[in-house]
Amino acid sequence: MDNPSLKNYPKFTLGSTFTKEQLDFFNKYGFVHFTGVFSPQEVSELIEGYNDASKKLIASKDKMVNGIPVIFGHDENGQRIVQRFPHTSKYSERLHQMVIDDRIQRLRNLLKYKSARIAEDERDGVVFNHYVNSKHSRFKHMGWHTDSLREVFYLKKVYPMLNIGVYLDKSSEINGGLRVIPGTHKQNLWGMLFHKTYYRSFKEDKDEVLVVADPGDVVIHHGQMWHRVGHSDFKDEVSRRRIMYIPILAGPKQKKMPNGKKKTPIYHHLQAFAKFDKK
C-alpha cells in the first residue's frame, strides 16, 4: 500500500462540532470514522426496525421502492430477506427517528454547502444493506464504484455528496468489509469514470484501506471516492454484514418518485449487471 500510515487510520469521537483534526482528515482522505455513536441497545432497536420494515415490504409484494429496485434473497436458514432495501426509513418509525436524531443531522456540516441536507426522501433514501454468504443469498459483496456516478448519468452539475454508514455488525475482512481508496474523492471526472470498471472489478487495490468497525460506529465517505465491499471467506452467520447508508446531498432537491410509478433511474440498470452473488 502506498499509504502504510493509513492501515491503522485514526478513529474519532463525535462531538457537537467537528475538531480541526477530524475535518483535516476528512478533507484529505475523503472518509472519517466515529466510534460508538450508537449504543448496543440502539443498534438492537435499529435491527428490529429493519426486521419490521422487511416484513412489511415482503408482505406488500413490491419489488421496488420509489422506482428503486430492491434486492431480495434468502439467508442461511432459508428465510426470505431484503438484502438491499432502499428508503427503509419509510417503512420503520424507528429508522426514521434515527435519521432525524441530532447525531445524524449534525453530520451535514461536513458538506460545506448552505443547501447540505440529510436526504431521507431523495436518491435511494436510507439504504439498508444485508450481506450474507449463504447458498441462496443474492448479495455477497460489491464491486468498485463511486456513489456520485449517477449525477454524471443525468448530465447534472455534480454537487458533492457524502454517504453516512451506520454499522450494525462488526465489520472487517472476516465478513467482507468496506475498502476505500483514500484521496480519490479529489480526482477529476475522468478518474471518476474510468479509474476502474464500475461494479465489475472486485480486485484488491494496492492503495485500498480496510475499514474495521464495530456495531454503533459511523463512517462517512465522500461520494466521489472509489470503494468496494469484499467477499467473506466464511459462510452463513459469520459472513453476515448489516449496514445502513444515509445520503448527505447539496444543490437543488431531487424529485421524489411515487412508488413504482416512475421509470427506474438508468443508473440502476448498471447496478443490475453487478455480480453481487458470485465470486
Write out the residues near ligand AKG by the rule CB under 6 A: 127, 129, 142, 147, 165, 178, 227, 229, 243, 245
Residue 220: CB partners within 8 Å, gap ≥ 6?
A: 26, 31, 32, 34, 107, 110, 162, 163, 164, 165, 248
Q: How far is the CB of 162 from Fe ion (least distance, A)?
A: 11
To Fe ion, the closest distance from the beta carbon of 163 in angstroms equals: 6
Helix 93-100 vs helix 40-60: angle between axes, to the nearest 10 degrees? 130
CB of 124 to ligand AKG, least distance (A): 8
Q: Of 81 and 229, which has the nearer Cβ to Fe ion?
A: 229
Give the C-alpha separation, 55 to 125, whole Å: 19
| CA–CA dist 23, 37 (Å, integer) | 17
Site for Fe ion in 95-154 (CB under 5 A): 147
Query: Could you tell me the smallest distance in angstroms from the CB atom of residue 259 to Fe ion?
Result: 23
- Give the footprint of Fe ion on residues 208-247 (CB under 5 A): none
Q: Which is nearer to ligand AKG, 203 or 261 (CB)?
A: 203
Query: Given the complex with ligand AKG, which of 116 and 126 has the nearer CB atom?
Result: 126
* Residue 168 interacting partner from Fe ion, ligand AKG, none (CB closer than 5 to 8 Å by kind): none
**Residue 180 interacts with, from Fe ion, ligand AKG, none (CB under 5-8 Å by kind):** none
The span from the CA of 109 to the CA of 102, in Å, is 12
Cell of 166: 451506520
Least Cα distance to 74 among 139, 10, 30 occurs for: 139
- At residue 181, the 3 state secondary structure works out as coil
Q: Which residue is nearest to ligand AKG (CB)?
A: 178
Q: Which does 230 bind (CB under 5 to 8 A by kind): ligand AKG, Fe ion, none?
A: none
**Mind giving me the DSSP string for 45-70?**
HHHHHHHHHHHHHHHHT-SEETTEE-
What is the CA angle 105-165-67, rounded to 5? 90
Question: What's the min distance (Å) between Cβ of 127 and ligand AKG?
Answer: 6
The site for Fe ion, by CB under 5 A, has a size of 1
Residue 243 binds what, of ligand AKG, Fe ion, none (CB under 5 to 8 Å, by partner type)?
ligand AKG
Q: Please, how many CA atoms are within 13 Å of residue 180, restricted to the half-sphere of its CB?
A: 25
Closest CB 19 distance from Fe ion, rounded Å: 26
**Are 115 and 157 spatial neighbours (Cβ–Cβ below 8 Å)?**
no
Pick what 229 binds: ligand AKG, Fe ion, none; C-beta below 5 to 8 Å, kind-dependent. Answer: ligand AKG
Q: CB count, 10 Å around CB of 51?
A: 12
The 67-86 contact track toward Fe ion, x by CB under 5 A, reads --------------------
Instruction: Please state the closest distance from residue 227 (CB atom) to ligand AKG, in A.
Output: 6
Interface ranges with Fe ion (CB under 5 A): 147
